[in-house]
């Protein structure tokens, strides 16, 4: 994700050396994480369709996620995993990530899951194209070409007559920009353990949303009382699938380097399209798939090119 991932880019390259390089295990684990995160997205979209508000959904998603991660990580790593070298940067990243999550769930309330996910993959290309100014990195024409190609792919998806809600498109583009900010904030907390970043990100969202519940819950309670057991199961499942996806993602980066795994991240679009088709009967048309392919190829090609450049 890049879109709704609490662990996206949180796995530090140094963590891959812990277990040794196991490419196949890393690829399989990453693919499993994309399916878990896509299931999270589908679950959120489904319960919002049943009347659950965006704020309540996000609150349950963050709270369950945080409890699960703490329950799994603390017994193994101990209380020291809670300490951050850059707490202010972690707070900033957590706030940006919460905003990105809210924006993406809002996008899903308007757009099919596959198209919403594809638009989000513009975020890393935005970061790389602006890196000379925002991250003080040397300018590279390859990054600008890939960003331009990715943006052209998005234009194909959101084209007039494509059947997408214009308001959803606006939210989707805003989400991509927000996730770009999240990726840049991640650079500042790379000195921390990836599990520390994962806990802080979930903690910020859970605390902020919990503080808002006294103002949100009274209006939401009538709808909540009408929910069936399946709705509650899926609602709590958002936190379970979120925690599973993020922990699997961190594990994948322990098995294999990010440069190897980067192209496989785009398989999340396949997972999103499959779930959207199975649940709602939504499936991108041929032209939309062309736009999706342009985004995936531009991102994957740039990842391969950056890897070769670093090796040289």
Question: How do residues 28-64 score in pLDDT, each as one tens digit?
Answer: 999 999 999 999 999 999 999 999 999 999 999 999 9
How far apart CA 77 and CA 80 sit, in angstroms, is: 7
What are the structure tokens assigned to 301, written together? 């090609």
Q: What share of the chain is helix, strand, coil (3-state, %, to 5)?
A: 80, 0, 20
Q: Token pair 């757009």 is at which residue?
A: 111
| Separation CA 70–CA 84 (nearest Å) | 15
| The CA-based dihedral angle spanning residues 57, 59, 62, 65, taken in that order and rounded to the nearest 10 degrees | -80
Give the pLDDT confidence score for residue 263 in this predicted structure: 82
- Tokens 């399209």 label which residue? 273
Cα 124 from Cα 268, distance rounded (Å)? 14
Closest CA to 111 of 7, 3, 231: 3
Q: Name residues of the chain where pLDDT drops below 50.
A: 1-18
Asked if residue 6 lies in contact with residue 241, where contact means CB atoms within 8 angstroms, the answer is: no
- Residue 312 burial (10 A CB sphere; 0-12, 13-18, 19+): exposed
Q: Which residues have a Cβ under 8 Å from the Cβ of 158 and sit 6 or more positions away? A: 115, 119, 164, 169, 172
Collect all residues with Cβ–Cβ distance below 8 Å to 4 and sequence separation of at least 6. Answer: 37, 40, 41, 100, 101, 104, 105, 242
Q: CA 235, CA 40: separation in Å to the nearest integer? A: 9
Classify 84 as helix, strand or coil.
Answer: coil
pTM over 0.95: no
Q: Which pLDDT belongs to residue 209?
A: 97
> What count of other Cβ atoms lies within 10 Å of the Cβ of residue 87?
12
Minimal CA–CA distance to 143: which of 160, 156, 125?
A: 125
């Amino acid at each position: 994700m890049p879109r709704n991932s609490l662990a996206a880019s949180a796995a530090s390259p140094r963590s891959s050396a812990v277990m040794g390089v196991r490419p196949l295990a890393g690829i399989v684990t990453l693919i499993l994480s994309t399916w878990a995160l896509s299931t999270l997205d589908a679950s959120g979209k489904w319960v919002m369709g049943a009347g659950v508000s965006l704020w309540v959904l996000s609150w349950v998603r963050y709270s369950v996620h945080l409890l699960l991660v703490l329950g799994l990580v603390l017994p193994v790593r101990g209380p020291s995993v809670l300490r951050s070298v850059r707490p202010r940067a972690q707070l900033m990243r957590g706030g940006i990530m919460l905003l990105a999550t809210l924006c993406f769930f809002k996008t899903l309330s308007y757009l099919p899951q596959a198209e919403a996910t594809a638009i989000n993959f513009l975020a890393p290309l935005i970061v790389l194209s602006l890196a000379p100014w925002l991250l003080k990195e040397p300018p590279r024409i390859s990054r600008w070409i890939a960003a331009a190609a990715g943006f052209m792919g998005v234009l194909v998806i959101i084209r007039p007559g494509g059947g997408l809600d214009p308001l959803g498109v606006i939210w989707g583009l805003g989400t991509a920009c927000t996730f770009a900010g999240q990726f840049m904030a991640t650079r500042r907390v790379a000195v921390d353990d990836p599990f520390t970043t994962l806990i802080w990100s979930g903690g910020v969202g859970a605390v902020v949303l919990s503080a808002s519940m006294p103002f949100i819950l009274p209006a939401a309670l009538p709808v909540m009382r009408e929910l069936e057991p399946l709705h509650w199961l899926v609602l709590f499942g958002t936190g379970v699938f979120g925690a599973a996806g993020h922990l699997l993602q961190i594990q994948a980066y322990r098995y294999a380097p990010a440069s190897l795994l980067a192209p496989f991240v785009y398989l999340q679009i396949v997972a999103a399209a499959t779930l959207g088709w199975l649940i709602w009967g939504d499936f991108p048309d041929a032209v939309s798939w062309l736009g999706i392919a342009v985004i995936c190829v531009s991102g994957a090609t740039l990842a391969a090119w950056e890897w070769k450049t670093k090796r040289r």
